Amino acid sequence: MNSSYQYIGWSVSGEWSVSGEGRRRRYVALLVMVTVTGTAAVTLALAVPNAIRFFDHAPAGFWAMALAALVVDIPLFGAFSREDPRVRSTLSICYTFAIFVLYGAAPAIVVQAIAGVVSVVGQRYNLRGVVYIPARLVLATAAAELVVGAVYPRPVTGQGIGLSREDLLAFLLLAVVWLVVSFGLLVAAFVPTQTADLRQRFSEVWADVVLAAAAVLVVAPLLVAIRGWWSLLVVVPVMLWNQLTREQLRREQEWAREPETGLLNRRGLVAGVRSITAHDSAAPQALRPFGIILVAFESALAINRTLGRELYEKVVGVASSRLIDVYGGDRAARLSGEAIAILVPDLTEPDALAATEAALAVLDPPVEVDEISFALDAAAGVALSPQHGRDLSDLLMKAELTAAEARRTGQRVGLYVSRATELAQRRIVLLRELHTVLRDPVRHHEIAVLYQPQIDLGTGRLAAVEALLRWTHPQWGPIPADILIESIEPSEIMHELTAHVLGRVAEQMHRWNEQGEPLRVSVNVSVQDLHRPDFVAELGRLVDEHGIAPGQLAIEITERMLISDIERVSLVARALAERGLGLSLDDFGTGYASLQQLRQLPLREVKLDRSYISGVVDNPTDRAIVASVHQLARALGVDVVAEGVEDEGIAQALAELPGVIGQGWYFGRPMSAEELCEWCQLLPRPVSDRRRFRRWVERRR
């Protein structure tokens, strides 16, 4: 895999983001971190000797503030995420800044370094956060000392003494310099690893700035005015406020997160998108980009269906843990059993496919549960904002369509293009229009049922016909049958259409029977039809009402339908057989049905797929397959229908196999019932008589 697909850049907040630029951004981020921490380490080393000399005669008020700085940020109970901006700041800064004002830079820097490390460790920051955050706070204190200390005497004032006008000015200047340097370094850590502009990055830490400013400008002056150990009383309300904020966050995270996997739920994902798009109205011309990657692993559903819910949840849990490790707890969301959405801030089109490949790479290694390995068989689609929309539901739909298209075409990943949504919209319009046609008898003429003949190649006689649906819209023209079925199959309209076609076929069969020309007819149905519990009963009533012999009607299903739901198909097939109705297996050879599955079904016929029939003359392999299936079918007492007989050579080759029935344009295209009656007058003698058969074909043309 290309290395650019694998790079995952780190930002100091603990947020992970996929970036296609990769190596260059990683080096810049590393340079910023090394420079800041190195400078802070030197500053701390210079401050320690002076701080030690101060500690020998430090007053009680200093020790009270130092102790408070060490404990104020330690959470009392409950876990919380370092990703949330409300808990990135350390409230110990109000105490360390008060020490800075009262006792000078050296003791403040040492206490700040120790308290900063305790704070970020207690808040579960990663190693980079443990190093970088205390470093920037130390440098902020040192910078304030260098800028203001050169103008104003230090310390500014004494504990318990009111601030004069000059003291207040010095205090404010120290606070401004401290805040600017501290959060300037935080924003600087963002910039190398992200593509958004500086204004967007500063907006992300705005909550931290407000919290820090309140600590420095409100709480710190209060601490200056309180003498000795009495300053510890301030710890209680500060810790209480801090803990209440964290507990509120913990509860919000529970509501927005799946307890089983730790992934976000839809509510959590909405909050994540909202945080990214929060400044859209302020900067409508500079919308912050982001991407939604939708990862679907269908094998999880198979595990749930065959091995049980408990094992399924374990497999999904392992996959979820991998994504959380890479993207953090506030970027991946579980939307359904087999789909996970990943929110990637600042993702743009050049990097989109690389980011999607990187997401799949996380899930590529098999998941091992209970010493058993499971492959997730994942496919993914990505939709980008703002070019593909700004609404989360719309983006999820587009990413899901893209993932489905990628899987259908044998790809791993896909980037959304408008064609996918346009196709989905066209299908919805098609669905609604067909619903209208079926409900309006005036428009029933738009739906035609045509019949394609099936010829016994040994006798040259008409063996049966297949009923085929054709819909011609007055504005759109003919609707391709495959697009029509694909569009309506997931809906209840599929049942309505099947009932309509079966009713039309039954009426025509009744007319043929009255004319003394009974025909055997096969009708295609959908897997959705077989799931209806009353399907066989309704079919039986239809046959009885029209006086049709059960053996005249055969229900046709595809081989793919059989292998995808063998249990249901077997139940329906046995119910059909009990009523004397036939079952035909279409597209045989394309779905890899096993001999055992065929033995379970009371089949009347199998229809060999045209992909084998077209090569029966020139391809020895296809010829051998056709001969083998023919022999197998005869052994099972099942008729063989060869689809796609397009020329005389194919017809002659198949005629050498006894009992084969041919269907294809060489004999006749799908035609109306009236055209079929005229066509029957032209039937020849057996196909084995080459000259007669050739003359029949020419005459028919």
Residue range 28-81, pLDDT digits in tens: 767 878 888 888 889 889 889 988 988 888 888 888 888 888 877 765 444 444
182 three-class SS: helix
Q: What is the DSSP string of 671-696?
A: B-HHHHHHHHTT--S-TT-HHHHHHH
Q: What's the one-letter identity of residue 305?
A: R
Of the chain, the end-to-end C-alpha distance in Å amounts to: 57
pLDDT, tens digit, 9 for 90 and up, residues 274-311: 878 776 655 556 678 899 999 888 777 677 777 777 78
Mean pLDDT score of the chain: 77
Identify the residue whose tokens are 């945080």. 275
pLDDT, tens digit, 9 for 90 and up, residues 195-228: 444 454 555 556 566 767 777 777 777 777 776 6
Q: How many CA atoms lie less than 13 Å away from 106 in the CB half-sphere?
A: 13
Burial code (b: 16+ CB inside 10 Å, e: under 16) for 312-321 equals: bbbbbbbbbe
Distance, CA of 566 to CA of 695 (rounded, Å) = 45
Q: CB-based contacts of 470: which residues, under 8 Å, 6+ apart?
A: 447, 448, 449, 450, 478, 481, 670
Q: How confident is the model at residue 323 (pLDDT cuts 50, 70, 90)?
A: confident
pLDDT score for 478: 84
**416: closest CA among 355, 363, 360, 349?**
349
pLDDT score for 562: 66
pLDDT, tens digit, 9 for 90 and up, residues 486-514: 778 778 888 889 899 999 999 999 999 99
The CA distances from residue 469 to 151, 162, 501, 523, 550, in Å, are: 92, 93, 7, 9, 22
The CA distances from residue 195 to 346, 348, 353, 383, 665, in Å, are: 6, 9, 17, 18, 60
Q: How confident is the model at residue 247 (pLDDT cuts 50, 70, 90)?
A: low
589 three-class SS: coil
**Six-digit token pair at 373?**
């390995």
Sign (positive or negative) of CA dihedral 314, 319, 322, 326: negative
369 three-class SS: strand
Q: What is the DSSP string of 592-652?
A: ---HHHHHHS--SEEEE-HHHHTTTTT-HHHHHHHHHHHHHHHHHT-EEEEE---SHHHHH
Mean pLDDT of 436-446: 89
Distance, CA of 641 to CA of 643 (rounded, Å) = 6
**Six-digit token pair at 548?**
């049709």
pLDDT, tens digit, 9 for 90 and up, residues 87-107: 444 678 888 888 888 888 889
pLDDT score for 254: 53
Distance, CA of 291 to CA of 18 (rounded, Å) = 10
Q: How confident is the model at residue 337 (pLDDT cuts 50, 70, 90)?
A: low
This prediction has a pTM of 0.50
pLDDT score for 308: 77
Q: Note the Cα 108 to chain centre separation in Å.
A: 50
Q: How confident is the model at residue 430 (pLDDT cuts 50, 70, 90)?
A: confident
- Percent of the chain's residues with pLDDT above 90: 7
Q: What is the DSSP string of 113-179?
A: HHHHHHHHHHTT--HHHHHHHHHHHHHHHHHHHHHHTTTS-SS---TTPPP-HHHHHHHHHHHHHHH
pLDDT score for 450: 93
**330: closest CA among 314, 341, 339?**
341
pLDDT score for 179: 83
Q: How confident is the model at residue 189 (pLDDT cuts 50, 70, 90)?
A: low
Mean pLDDT of 430-445: 87
**118: closest CA among 79, 86, 82, 72?**
72
Distance, CA of 617 to CA of 222 (rounded, Å) = 97
3-state secondary structure 246-299: HHHHHHHHHHCECCCCCCECHHHHHHHHHHHCCCCCCCCCCCCCEEEEEEEECH
Evaluate if residue 239 carries a pLDDT over 50: yes
Sign (positive or negative) of CA dihedral 210, 214, 215, 221: positive
**453: closest CA among 443, 439, 467?**
467
pLDDT score for 220: 74
pLDDT score for 485: 81
pLDDT score for 568: 77
The alpha helices in 440-490, defined as continuous H runs, are: 481-488
Evaluate if residue 251 carries a pLDDT over 80: no
Mean pLDDT of 640-653: 88
Mean pLDDT of 523-534: 84
pLDDT, tens digit, 9 for 90 and up, residues 357-392: 988 888 888 888 877 878 888 889 999 988 888 888
Mean pLDDT of 260-267: 77
Secondary element (H or E) of residue 447:
strand 447-456
What's the helix, strand, coil split of the chain in %, to 5? 60, 15, 25
- Percent of the chain's residues with pLDDT above 70: 73
pLDDT score for 468: 92
Distance, CA of 581 to CA of 575 (rounded, Å) = 9
Identify the residue whose tokens are 């759109």. 476
Distance, CA of 124 to CA of 155 (rounded, Å) = 34
pLDDT, tens digit, 9 for 90 and up, residues 129-168: 677 788 888 888 888 888 876 666 666 655 555 666 677 7
**Six-digit token pair at 657?**
């196999």
- Contact by Cβ (8 Å): 119, 92: yes
Query: How many residues are recorded in the chain?
Result: 701
Evaluate if residue 405 carries a pLDDT over 80: yes
pLDDT score for 451: 93
**208: closest CA among 72, 126, 85?**
85
Other Cβ atoms closer than 10 A to 64: 23
pLDDT score for 273: 84
Identify the residue whose tokens are 């931290």. 208
Most confident of 71-85, 109-123, 345-359: 345-359
Distance, CA of 240 to CA of 244 (rounded, Å) = 6
**Six-digit token pair at 464?**
């049966």
pLDDT score for 1: 32
**Six-digit token pair at 593?**
């049905």
Secondary element (H or E) of residue 506:
helix 493-514
